[in-house]
Amino acid sequence: MKITHIEPILIELPFEHGAPKPLLRSGMPRKMMAAVYLRVDTDEGISGWGEAFGFGACRIVHAAAKMVVAPLVVGEAADDISSLMGELHRKLQSMALNGPVRFALSALDIALWDILGKVSGQPIHRLLNSECRRTELPVYASLMRMQKPDYVAKVSRDALERGYRHIKLHEQTIECVAAARNAIGSDMALMLDTNCSWEADHAIDMANKLRDQDLFWLEEPVSPPDDFEGLARVQTEGGIPVAAGENLGTFHEFCRLADSNSIEYLQPDVTKFGGITELWKAVRYAERIGIKLEPHSPLYGPGLIATQHIVAAMKTEAMIEFYYCELGESPMGDAIYAKDGFMSVPDGPGLGVDIDTAVIEKYRAA
C-alpha cells in the first residue's frame, strides 16, 4: 500500500470557555482555536488522519508538512511505519529534533497508525497493547488562562459541575490559585501550569508560597523549559510535585529528563514528540524505570484521539488533558468531550472516530 497524497489542513474552530477569550502572546484575544490536521491518502483508498502541534504557529507547521515532509513521503509504503519514520528522522535530522518539522512528522506518524488500524480492523490502543481492556479514561479540565480570580473561580465551579474531579489552571498568581481552591473545595485535585513563567529561584519562592493550596502538581514552573536542573531544584526546594515535558522533542531527551529522576510527572505531547511511535517508546521506558507519565494534549482533533489510545494502552493509569471549552462544532463529534469526568476509549479501527469532513471543510483556513 503506497502513500499517494498528503494534505495538511489548517482549521480554525470557534469556541467558548465560560469567560472572556484568553489573550494571545500578542495581547490580542484568541478568537478561534486553530490546529493543523493532516490527511494521508493511499492507493488502496484508505486514508488516515493525524494532527501536528500548531499553537500560534499553525501556518509555519502547515508549510513544513506541505513543503518539507510531503515531498519525501509520496510514493512510499504506508504500512511499515517504523522504517518510514526512521528514514524520515534520519533525512531531516538537521531540522526535526523539535519544532515545526518535528510536529509535521508527528502528524504523519499518527495518520499512519490510523491507516494501520483501519487495515487490520483494530483500534490503535489494541495494536499498542493487545491486553488493553480499558473503556474509559479519567480526564482533567485544563482551564485557559483568565488572569482574574472571579473568572477563575467561576470556570472552576463550572468544570466541577460538569463532573471533573481534577482541574488545572494556567495562571501565574497566588490570588488566582486561591480563588480556584476556594471555589472547588479541598477534596478536588488542583494543578497549576505556569508555562515556564519563572526562573528557578523565583519558582522555588512561588512554590513555597503556594504550598497552602495543596497542588497536585506544579507544571513547567521554570524558564527555559529545558532547565532540567532548575526543575529538579523546584521539586526538592519547593515541596510540590513538579510536572514537565510537553516541550521535549525526542525520545533521548525524554530519557535524559526521566533518568535524572528529578521531577514527578513527565508530559510528552504526541503532536510534538514524533507521534504515536515515539510516544509509545517513552511510555515503555517510563514503565521500565517507574516514572509517571501524564501526556500533554490541549487538542481537539486526531492528536487528542491518539492520546486517548496511548493512555488506554498504558499499564499505569494516567489522565487525559482536556483544554476546557466547548467548540462551535467538533470535527471529531463527541469523542473529544468528557462525561462526568471520563472520556470513552474509541473502539473502532484506527483512531476509531468518524471524522466529520464537512465540519473540517467549513472551518478550513488553509
> Which CB, 193 or 294, lies closer to Mg ion?
193
Shortest reach from residue 267's CB to Mg ion, in Å:
7
Distance from C-alpha of 346 to C-alpha of 121, rounded to nearest angstrom: 13
Nearest distance from residue 310's CB to Mg ion, in Å?
A: 17
Minimum CB distance to Mg ion smaller for 51 or for 193: 193
The number of residues that bind Mg ion (CB under 5 A) is 3
The three cell numbers of residue 207 are 512554590
Rank residues 124 and 310 by Cβ distance to Mg ion and give the closer one: 310
Q: Is 90 helix (H, G, I), strand (E, B) or coil?
A: helix
Which C-beta is closer to Mg ion: that of 3 or that of 244? 244
Site for Mg ion in 227-256 (CB under 5 A): 246
Q: Under the criterion CB under 5 A, does residue 278 sit at the interface with Mg ion?
A: no
Residue of closest CB approach to Mg ion: 193
Give which of 273, 276, 242, 275 is closest to 255, Cα–Cα.
Answer: 273
3-state secondary structure 314-364: CCCCCCEEEECCEECCCCCHHHHCCECCEEECCCCCECCCCCCHHHHHHCE
Q: Which of these ranges, 143-151, 186-194, 256-264, 303-311, lies near Mg ion under the rule CB under 5 A?
A: 186-194
The CA distance from 180 to 155, in Å, is: 9
User: x/- contact string, 309-348, with Mg ion (CB under 5 A)?
Assistant: ----------------------------------------
Compute the least distance from the CB of residue 68 to Mg ion, in Å.
26
Question: How many other β-carbons are positioned within 10 Å of the β-carbon of residue 56?
Answer: 13
In the region spanning residues 211 to 230, those forming contacts with Mg ion, defined by CB under 5 A, are 219
Rounded to whole angstroms, the Cα distance separating 302 from 110 reads 8
Nearest to 114 by CA among 301, 282, 362, 319: 301
Q: SS3 for 260? A: coil
**Which one of 20-28, 49-57, 192-200, 222-230 is the stretch in contact with Mg ion (CB under 5 A)?**
192-200
Identify the residue among 193, 227, 253, 294 touching Mg ion (CB under 5 A). 193
Residue numbers at the binding site for Mg ion (CB under 5 A)? 193, 219, 246
